[in-house]
Amino acid sequence: MKKRILITGGAGFLGSHLCDRLLEQGHEVIVADNLFTGRKSNIAHHLGNPNFEFIRHDVTDPIRLEVDQIYNLACPASPPHYQYNAIKTIKTSVMGAINVLGLAKRTKARVFQASTSEIYGDPEVHPQPESYWGNVNTIGVRSCYDEGKRVAETLFFDYHRQNGVDIRVVRIFNTYGPRMLPNDGRVVSNFIVQALRGEDITIYGDGKQTRSFCYVDDLIAGFMKLMETDNFTGPVNIGNPGEFTMLELAEQVLKKVGSKSKLVFRALPSDDPKQRKPDITLAKTRLGWEPKVPLSDGLDKTIAYFAKLLDCPYPQS
């Protein structure tokens, strides 16, 4: 059944991929984005589609629309971008949540919150299940993002309990793929861009800290499965449980690019988690979802995207 769907942050990395998939299914899609980290180029191919509309809008301001579903993806998600204006970041998470929840309450729309594995902080439980409450510094340089997302989850569940709003909450683990920004400061894009340019690969700490990397197509499939599932609010972890050290990731990227870049080590940033891996048992049992794209295949697609974007030669993988 055709739905009218709002995506806040829809011109961003994840939002634009979600937009593609929803339009493919024949839905009417409205993208609201202030273009702080989103890019018009990510959605330009839809501008002539009668089922697509773009509104330049900041989610910290209320918006009045008639919609059936809302995906709230608006918030800078990489440390350099969310730390650039920490107060704005926390406003985006908190006021943005209040505004989309108010819209959902009025229109009786199902509303989706893109939460994050950062709500687990530097975890003392590994891997992280949804039942884990986290180990988060409330006053650190990352707190504007971590705590903003935690408060947003609280607001979603309070609106659900108090006003009967139909909510869905996903906790996103590290995701990568085409349309990432080359300067977004995330490890996959950092390593690929540095390798393609022949620059030194920057490793923070000893490189033994771990992350789990989910290819964007798998993540978006998880989003849509949750939105299509009745009687399940989440929160639910969506991510790839394959766990890699930063050194392992750097070695894979260097080998695929054929780069002579050297590894250089820098001090670990404040509050940087030592390990991160989702327990996806709940996603498997309640949504029938698990990731399908191996890291090697996803890296090939992402490297090819950046090589074209940066006009860098990309030798054989």
Active site residues: 145
Nearest to 192 by CA among 294, 311, 304, 315: 304
Question: How many Cβ atoms sit within 10 Å of the Cβ of residue 99?
Answer: 19
Contact 6, 33 (CB under 8 A): no
Paired tokens of 301: 């697609």
Three-class DSSP category at 30: strand
Question: How many Cβ atoms sit within 10 Å of the Cβ of residue 206?
Answer: 11
Question: How many Cβ atoms sit within 10 Å of the Cβ of residue 244?
Answer: 19
Half-sphere exposure of 73 (CA within 13 A, CB side): 28
Three-class DSSP category at 271: coil
Contact 286, 168 (CB under 8 A): no
